Structure 1
């Protein structure tokens, strides 16, 4: 799994042994309570079972030993809970339920808590990116396409694009949260026959007690809700990898426009004293690569047949907590970057001039199109760009030479357009992204 230093502590706790067992015990306790209220089992039995469903009553070493032998942990869990009860109540633990009911419902609790924790991280990250985008709203920098300078943009607009993607991801998180927080209580074959005539009433009450949604249709072998969780985690890693890749590229020595936070020995090399490596960005890219590969497991989960999986379910036991931890950890590192990002506006301004200022070719073409028409202006700037490269000239000088040779010098404006005058909607993009983010509602927890 992840190196311990890089792993998100909230996700590690949510999917820890202790919290996993507690989630199962919470489901068993809620089941007994609901059955007691419905008269399925005596109320005093339900009360005693509720009290016995305590983590303090579970010998974890014995639980995992039993699970390895049985193949599943709930058999051993029920035996241990029952051993702390007198005759009578001990026969009503896990009454009418099946192993997957308890594990699926427990996992639903964990996944919803996982997403709620990520939503808080998204709020923090989005707010930071919103501030950065506004701060550098009008800071001109080279825009790049195909890894080459294209047209001027602003650093604020560059960040705003990522901010708006975060907004969409937050919408996806809310949808995934509502999807995963669903009860599973349908018995051995999905018909809930063992729960008897009060099955629907009991399931509804268990869902209410756990803060989960009720459903009348079993999902033991329908794992699209888990696939949605996996998809969100993988794609949020992808969004953050886009941010990380931009930081890596902009922090290259030859570019030098944007850097990660700095403190002594951050990103240091054991042999090259000058190095300040973009370590958070590298972690995010690595996590995203792993999450992308792991996503394929979530689609394989959906292949489970009949009324119970034969192997596909087991894949979840590693994939779900790993994916949640990857996403939470990538968000951690993105927050680190956004909290202390270093921006060099002067270097951005200088980089606009490299390659003879060829980044202004389109701008000057559009400026001349008013007099020459677009196609003739395009041809003139193409020839000027070629000349500028061949003779290492500034584009403006090359344009004047080409225009003179073509007998069109009189058509050139006295002042050619400057980078800060060719930002188009950059400012509006920032304002729109910031406004949209600020109106994005916080997660409505069930």
Structure 2
């Protein structure tokens, strides 16, 4: 068996639990489980004897599979299931050895085995997303009233709170929990349709066999084959890309907010964490950088998902092989991104004083909209907008505060000084910021605790 190619990103940040789902042993075991379930399902409706099914089940274990022989066969055949069948049959006596894989085709076993792995991955990722969402919810709650500049187009916009800003990320994770449950329902479907999708080799009891196998493996079933209908698998890949992209969105914000000239939020600190080999002062945002790299890789891999849906007629001719490489990597890298994001949120360091100081940057122009809205009632919106616009330009040109510049512009326009007296500070112009944070936490908690959505840990 060839060794996996060494990659630095995966070596440093791979999530071992997701990796185990797609290990060599887990992959072979998924095929063995399906072969055993097929035998038992056929026995339950009289296609096989119970003794034959029990013998096959007992033989379908990892201990009875020689990996070297299996992979040598797979390399020659192009697929591993013929080798799996012979590894099982090799330890069976005459009789049941001829009943292994009865009526099945290679893709039946591989697709159903893959579904078992993808469902395990989805369940694991659901738990990982819950942990991540809980960590973010804790930050949202703690900083629901921590005032900071909101930024649009990378520039100061209006005052907000850190809790309100992170609430949008939390709400994405809430929707991801729902998507994970929905995708799992659609994906957890057994594939037992035979060579051309007609189930002819399964005989007159094909539907009963399919139902029995589905029950045994805790999957659903469908009379309609899906050998070349790969939309469920594409959905899996695209969903994982969405989840990793949410992680990256948070990570990018942390990178920006930890810039020296901003300095509002930082990753956790440990000695030499994020250190430079030449610049002793550096504390680089290494978790955020890793998350962005993981997400970008997942996005690139997921872009191939539409290609797997191009498989024609009743069997793929190359599109299937793409899945073998891409789906496990998407799952492992996404799990890695979510775990790293949980660690990022858990250790987040916040500087409220720096946030407050930053509100005063650019002559306090972050309060421009607040001034305009206050002046809109006595002056009308358009006149108020023009007045504050001129005051903003004056503040920058003459290096004075917006409040001072606005008072001068009001006097120049023959307006009474009392017109500007209604202006309040940043804490008086937060709108629904605190409510946004609270509602995001409430929504997260409700969805996380919903039957069939949250985990049962």
TM-score by length of 2: 0.96
Alpha-carbon separation, structure 2, partners of 1:177 and 1:111: 9
Q: What residue number does 1:349 align with?
A: 356
1:242-261 to 2 correspondence within 5 Å? 242-261=249-268
Deviations 1:60-94 (A, max 9, x none): 12211211111001111111111011111111111
Query: Residue 368 in 1 paired to residue 370 in 2?
Result: no
SS at match of 1:85: coil
C-alpha displacement of 1:392: 1.4
Alpha-carbon separation, structure 2, partners of 1:293 and 1:127: 28
SS at match of 1:413: helix
Deviations 1:237-278 (A, max 9, x none): 111111111111101011000111111121111221111111
Deviations 1:211-242 (A, max 9, x none): 11111110000000001101110000111111
C-alpha displacement of 1:442: 5.7
Q: What residue number does 1:77 align with?
A: 84
Alpha-carbon separation, structure 2, partners of 1:428 and 1:84: 66
Alpha-carbon separation, structure 2, partners of 1:237 and 1:123: 14
**Residue in structure 1 matching 2:183, options 173, 176, 179:** 176
Alpha-carbon separation, structure 2, partners of 1:200 and 1:404: 85
Q: Is the CA contact (8 Å cut-off) linking 2:407 and 2:420 kept in structure 1?
A: no
Q: Is the CA contact (8 Å cut-off) linking 2:41 and 2:212 kept in structure 1?
A: yes
C-alpha displacement of 1:415: 5.3
Q: Is the CA contact (8 Å cut-off) linking 1:8 and 1:325 kept in structure 2?
A: yes
Q: What residue number does 1:403 align with?
A: 410
Deviations 1:151-177 (A, max 9, x none): 000101001111111111111111111
TM superposition outliers: structure 1 runs of 4+ over 3 Å: 442-446
Q: What residue number does 2:111 align with?
A: 104
1:202-217 to 2 correspondence within 5 Å? 202-217=209-224
Query: Residue 296 in 1 paired to residue 284 in 2?
Result: no
Which residues of structure 1 form unaligned runs of 5+? none
Alpha-carbon separation, structure 2, partners of 1:232 and 1:10: 19
Query: Residue 388 in 1 paired to residue 392 in 2?
Result: no
Compute the RMSD of aligned alpha carbons: 1.3
TM-score by length of 1: 0.98
**Residue in structure 2 matching 1:196, options 195, 203, 214:** 203
Alpha-carbon separation, structure 2, partners of 1:337 and 1:396: 39
Alpha-carbon separation, structure 2, partners of 1:71 and 1:214: 27
1:112-261 to 2 correspondence within 5 Å? 112-261=119-268
SS at match of 1:129: helix
SS at match of 1:34: helix
SS at match of 1:412: helix
Query: Residue 47 in 1 paired to residue 37 in 2?
Result: no
Q: Is the CA contact (8 Å cut-off) linking 1:34 and 1:205 kept in structure 2?
A: yes
Q: Is the CA contact (8 Å cut-off) linking 1:74 and 1:99 kept in structure 2?
A: yes
Q: Is the CA contact (8 Å cut-off) linking 1:119 and 1:443 kept in structure 2?
A: no
